[in-house]
Amino acid sequence: MAGRKIRNMEEFAEVSGISRPTVSKYFHDPSSVRKSTRARIEEALERYDYRPNIFAMNQNRRLTKNIGIVVPYLADPFFAEIARNLERRCIDAGFFPLLFSSHGEQTQENAILDSLRLLKPAGVLLAALGRTSDHDHIKRFCADVPTVLFDSYLDNTGAAFVGSDHAQVLRMIVDYLCRSGEPPVFFEMKNPANPNANRRRAGYIAAMEALGQTPEIVRVDGTGWSFEQIGFNGASALLETGAFATDTVLCSNDRLAIGLISAAYAKGVRVGRGPDCALRVAGMDDHPFAQFTCPPMTTIAQDYAAIADNSVETLFKVVETGALTGERPEMLFEGRLVMRDSA
Amino acid sequence: MAGRKIRNMEEFAEVSGISRPTVSKYFHDPSSVRKSTRARIEEALERYDYRPNIFAMNQNRRLTKNIGIVVPYLADPFFAEIARNLERRCIDAGFFPLLFSSHGEQTQENAILDSLRLLKPAGVLLAALGRTSDHDHIKRFCADVPTVLFDSYLDNTGAAFVGSDHAQVLRMIVDYLCRSGEPPVFFEMKNPANPNANRRRAGYIAAMEALGQTPEIVRVDGTGWSFEQIGFNGASALLETGAFATDTVLCSNDRLAIGLISAAYAKGVRVGRGPDCALRVAGMDDHPFAQFTCPPMTTIAQDYAAIADNSVETLFKVVETGALTGERPEMLFEGRLVMRDSA
DNA sequence: ACTAAAACATTACGCGCGTAAACATTTCAT
DNA sequence: ATGAAATGTTTACGCGCGTAATGTTTTAGT
């Protein structure tokens, strides 16, 4: 580990006894050089910890080893968890993931995409803001950079989409709720930021009608990403006026449900499925904290691992084939019913 | 915005009618060129959206505009929230923040620091893992790169430390709990990952003794970062054996408290400060979800904004003066008692 | 209006590495 | 052993920009 200090690839090539172009080739892909050559380089690598200069490398490479990961709101543990899975897989594949959060703001999202362009990423994994996104801006970006959209669906944008099968998910939870008690009322925000909300509503309506039930939708005011607060405020008002048509509420996502459960507790409305309970509450996503609500939340778990795996895998495929046009696969994964005590 | 496409600074200099070295100077610092020159450049900038190549810029600049932000566990909303504040301030100051999460693993933390070296960052904001950190590795990093530590204290490492004044915080919450009911038992993990836990325990003991009370500490098993689960499991066992010395529990952090409250609910133990309640529970941090527990959690809010502001500001000061040695300021901020219903 | 100072233009080199071309050597099947 | 294929070496250029040196123009102070 001692010896002279290595300043650049030239010097490293010298001490390893291999020519610089071959060393360069090695760093680009170790398996592209003869085994004996690789051994000599790796031996030198142990003696002289040298690593190529990223900036010089990326300047000349048409595309880098960078992978951009963009999520709409990192303070939401759901996205933090997905991001963690994505990061891991990128690193394992020898890429360098760069994580960005739009913090719920369009200007941020646009700025991130602009910066990302300069970083010449091999590809980008993007969960867009949704309704508040600058759709044209994103589309233009996707035209230049291989991008896989996940979680948040945008029409006709990106090289592929990976997300949840909301129709299936809603069918499952609505089915469960109807079998085990009164049919659910659907609880959501009036102007949901996330486009998934629309698919979930549609899924709810379809599932209810398939069972011969009448869909009932309750929509509460509020903008932004403070879903718990919005759910809390909305539910507080509704619980006073008794505006829920049945004793069962299906929330558009877990964070709204967290707010609702908190509001019910404050009002002394007992949530759960026991005989002494007045309200059943179900959520969607299996948020990391859903199992610690009081009572623990019945919800639908999204398949984090599958979504992460397939997003990354699909992106790599697109990157390799350079297929920016052509068919645009949409992969939808089923959810898993997590029966806890709230419904 | 139309016209020919600009490929590099040379061409941009041409269409703006300014020499390339001057244009380069402009991008380095717009105020370093004459007003009329700046106007001409900015006019061209509007017509030809050009932005300098990051990699070429950073290759020759000794230090870049990159700021590394490293947190131990991004899926913890506390760190997500702090990271958000730090990011914002870096961007406002014209820097380019790069966010990394160690995901609770030493190998990751070390790998992040190694990568960060290659990115030649102007500075780094680091919340280390703590007990599980590779202290020497971090120290070596801090010797080369201007680094401000925050939240997680490490002896004699980094150019400065910014965090919470745990002694003050504990004095305040212990004082409140003793005034309003029975003195608190301290609830924590047996082998806390975060060094703050030790300071909090010490603060608790000091605060209790100052009030003439006997400190009582309950420590539960569990490793890793699933604090809610650890709190839940530990509390479930304790509530059955009735091992809490008083009816008041002060948790080392909000996430443990979330688990404890959930466990109490499951056992039918009513949490709160009313006459019909059997247990008071207080947390620490004012976690984003603390206000939605059942009942809402009494806790101490850390001053996110102050910590973020001062971390960034201190880092910039260090970067400007290049002061890697000399005094090593430690800034501790007071917490704010948030009285809700759990205690 | 005149001069010193500030700002800009011109020219030129370097950063560290990618990569192509031409040639030399090693490997491997026959 | 022998020739083709695979792999290395040498040499040379380019990427886009930072930056120093030198000379010219503009600005500002009196």
Hey, is the C-beta of B296 within 8 angstroms of any chain A C-beta? Answer: yes
Beta carbon of A60 within 7 Å of strand D? yes
- Residues at the strand C interface (Cβ < 7 Å): A 7-10, 20-21, 24-25, 27-28, 34, 36, 52-53, 56-57, 59-62; B 17-22, 25, 32-34, 36-38, 59-60
Hey, is the C-beta of A86 within 8 angstroms of any chain B C-beta? Answer: no
Hey, is the C-beta of B105 within 8 angstroms of any chain A C-beta? Answer: no
Q: Of A84, A114, A258, which has the smallest distance from its Cβ to B292's Cβ?
A: A258
Nucleotides of D under 7 A from a protein CB: 7-12, 14-21, 27
What is residue A94's predicted lDDT score, i.e. its pLDDT?
85
- Subunit contact A99:B101, Cβ cutoff 8 A: yes
Closest Cα of chain B to A262: distance in Å?
5
* pLDDT at residue B34 tops 70: yes
CA of A13: nearest nucleotide by C1' is D9
Q: How many CA atoms lie within 13 A of B67 on its CB side?
A: 26
* pLDDT at residue A258 tops 80: yes
Q: Of A101, A114, A262, which has the smallest distance from its Cβ to B292's Cβ?
A: A262
Hey, is the C-beta of A39 within 8 angstroms of any chain B C-beta? Answer: no
Closest Cα of chain A to B184: distance in Å?
23
Give the C-alpha distances (Å, rounded to integers) separating A234 from A231, A261, A297: 5, 11, 19
Kindly indicate the confidence band of residue B133, based on its pLDDT and cuts at 50, 70 and 90: very high
What is residue A192's predicted lDDT score, i.e. its pLDDT?
87
Say if residues B280 and B181 touch (Cβ distance below 8 Å). Answer: yes
Helix, coil or strand: residue A93: coil
* pLDDT at residue A319 tops 90: no
Same fold, B64-163+304-333 and B166-301: yes
If 0-12 CB within 10 Å is exposed, 13-18 middle and 19+ buried, where does residue B51 land?
middle
End-to-end Cα distance, chain B? 61
Q: For chain B, what are the domain ranges?
A: 9-52, 64-163+304-333, 166-301
Positive or negative, the Cα torsion across A268, B273, B260, B76?
A: positive
Give the C-alpha distances (Å, rounded to integers) separating B221 from B185, B189, B217, B261, B262: 17, 6, 13, 17, 17
* pLDDT at residue A222 tops 60: yes
With a CB cutoff of 8 Å and minimum separation 6, the contacts of A275 are none
- Subunit contact B99:A96, Cβ cutoff 8 A: no
Topology given in CATH for the domain delimited by B64-163+304-333: Rossmann fold (3.40.50)
CA–CA dist B318, B148 (Å, integer) = 9
Tell me the two tokens of residue A40: 């000599």
**Protein CA at A37 to nucleotide C1' at D1, angstroms:** 27
What is residue B98's predicted lDDT score, i.e. its pLDDT?
95
What is residue B341's predicted lDDT score, i.e. its pLDDT?
95
Name residue A163's amino acid.
Answer: G
Kindly indicate the confidence band of residue B322, based on its pLDDT and cuts at 50, 70 and 90: low
Name residue A332's amino acid.
Answer: L
Specify whether the backbone of A123 is left (phi greater than 0), alpha (psi in -120 to 50) or beta.
Answer: beta
* Residues A40-55, mean pLDDT to the nearest whole number: 91
Residues composing chain B:
343
What is residue B3's predicted lDDT score, i.e. its pLDDT?
62
CA–CA dist A97, A152 (Å, integer) = 20
* SS3 track for chain B: CCCCCCCCHHHHHHHHCCCHHHHHHHHHCHHHCCHHHHHHHHHHHHHCCCCCCHHHHHHHCCCCCEEEEEECCCCCHHHHHHHHHHHHHHHHCCCEEEEEECCCCHHHHHHHHHHHHHCCCCEEEECCCCCCCCHHHHHHHHHHCCEEEECCCCCCCCCEEEEECHHHHHHHHHHHHHHHCCCCEEEEECCCCCCHHHHHHHHHHHHHHHCCCCCCEEEECCCCCCHHHHHHHHHHHHHHHCCCCCCEEEECCHHHHHHHHHHHHHHCCCECCCCCCCEEEECCECCCCHHHCCCCCEEEECCHHHHHHHHHHHHHHHHHHCCCCCCCCEEEECCEEECCCCC
Computed on alpha carbons and rounded to an integer, the radius of gyration of chain A in Å comes to: 25
Kindly indicate the confidence band of residue A323, based on its pLDDT and cuts at 50, 70 and 90: low
- Subunit contact A259:B292, Cβ cutoff 8 A: yes
Name residue B323's amino acid.
Answer: A
* Nearest residue on chain A to B74, alpha-carbon basis: A80
CA–CA dist B127, B103 (Å, integer) = 12
CA–CA dist A212, A206 (Å, integer) = 10
What is residue B212's predicted lDDT score, i.e. its pLDDT?
95
End-to-end Cα distance, chain A? 61
Beta carbon of A18 within 7 Å of strand D? yes
Identify all chain B residues contacting A120, using CB atoms and an 8 Å cutoff: 55
Number of CB pairs, chain A paired with chain B, less than 8 A apart: 108
Kindly indicate the confidence band of residue B138, based on its pLDDT and cuts at 50, 70 and 90: very high
What residues does B148 pair with on adjacent strands?
B125, B160
**Protein CA at A19 to nucleotide C1' at C24, angstroms:** 13
Backbone angles phi, psi at A134, to 5 degrees: -85, 90
**Protein CA at A20 to nucleotide C1' at D30, angstroms:** 62
Identify all chain B residues contacting A228, using CB atoms and an 8 Å cutoff: 289, 291-292
Give the C-alpha distances (Å, rounded to integers) separating B13 from A149, B24, B36: 37, 9, 15
Helix, coil or strand: residue A190: coil
- Subunit contact B266:A80, Cβ cutoff 8 A: no
Q: What is the DSSP letter of A235?
A: H
Hey, is the C-beta of A244 within 8 angstroms of any chain B C-beta? Answer: no
CA of A59: nearest nucleotide by C1' is D15
Residues composing chain A:
343
What is residue B193's predicted lDDT score, i.e. its pLDDT?
81
- Please identify, in words, the CATH class of the domain defined by B166-301: alpha beta
Hey, is the C-beta of B270 within 8 angstroms of any chain A C-beta? Answer: no
| Alpha-carbon torsion, ordered B29, B31, B33, B39, to 10 deg | 110
Q: Of A120, A228, A265, which has the smallest distance from its Cβ to B294's Cβ?
A: A265
* pLDDT at residue A1 tops 60: no
The model's pLDDT over A324-338, given as tens digits with 9 standing for 90+, comes to 566 888 999 999 999
Average of per-residue pLDDT values in chain B: 92
With a CB cutoff of 8 Å and minimum separation 6, the contacts of B43 are B16
CA–CA dist B334, B164 (Å, integer) = 6
- Subunit contact B228:A292, Cβ cutoff 8 A: yes
Specify whether the backbone of A179 is left (phi greater than 0), alpha (psi in -120 to 50) or beta.
Answer: alpha
Hey, is the C-beta of A63 within 8 angstroms of any chain B C-beta? Answer: no
The model's pLDDT over A224-249, given as tens digits with 9 standing for 90+, comes to 889 999 999 999 999 988 778 899 99
- Subunit contact A296:B266, Cβ cutoff 8 A: yes
**Protein CA at B94 to nucleotide C1' at D5, angstroms:** 54
**Protein CA at B70 to nucleotide C1' at D9, angstroms:** 43
Q: Of B55, B80, B295, which has the smallest distance from its Cβ to A265's Cβ?
A: B295
- Subunit contact A288:B103, Cβ cutoff 8 A: no
Hey, is the C-beta of B215 within 8 angstroms of any chain A C-beta? Answer: no
**Protein CA at A50 to nucleotide C1' at C27, angstroms:** 30
Name residue B340's amino acid.
Answer: R
- Subunit contact A293:B262, Cβ cutoff 8 A: yes
- Subunit contact A293:B294, Cβ cutoff 8 A: yes
* Nearest residue on chain B to A296, alpha-carbon basis: B262
Closest Cα of chain B to A209: distance in Å?
34
Give me the residue label for tokens 């997680």: B152
Give the C-alpha distances (Å, rounded to integers) separating B315 from A338, B114, B126, B162: 46, 20, 11, 10
Kindly indicate the confidence band of residue A42, based on its pLDDT and cuts at 50, 70 and 90: very high
**Protein CA at A37 to nucleotide C1' at C24, angstroms:** 17
Say if residues B321 and B277 touch (Cβ distance below 8 Å). Answer: no
Q: Which candidate in A6, A49, A55, A236 is best for mutational testing of the B interface (most B CBs within 10 A)?
A: A55
* pLDDT at residue A68 tops 90: yes
Closest Cα of chain A to B213: distance in Å?
32
* Nearest residue on chain A to B231, alpha-carbon basis: A292
With a pLDDT cut of 90, the percent of chain B lying above it is 77
Say if residues A332 and A196 touch (Cβ distance below 8 Å). Answer: no
Q: Which of A128, A122, A133 is nearest to A151 (CA)?
A: A128
* pLDDT at residue B308 tops 80: yes
Q: Which candidate in A74, A82, A110, A251 is best for mutational testing of the B interface (most B CBs within 10 A)?
A: A74
CA–CA dist A65, A56 (Å, integer) = 13
Please name the residue whose C-alpha is nearest to the C1' of nucleotide D16.
Answer: B56
CA–CA dist B123, A266 (Å, integer) = 46
Q: What is the DSSP letter of A215?
A: P
* pLDDT at residue B325 tops 90: no
* Residues B312-328, mean pLDDT to the nearest whole number: 80
If 0-12 CB within 10 Å is exposed, 13-18 middle and 19+ buried, where does residue B241 land?
exposed
* Residues A291-311, mean pLDDT to the nearest whole number: 94
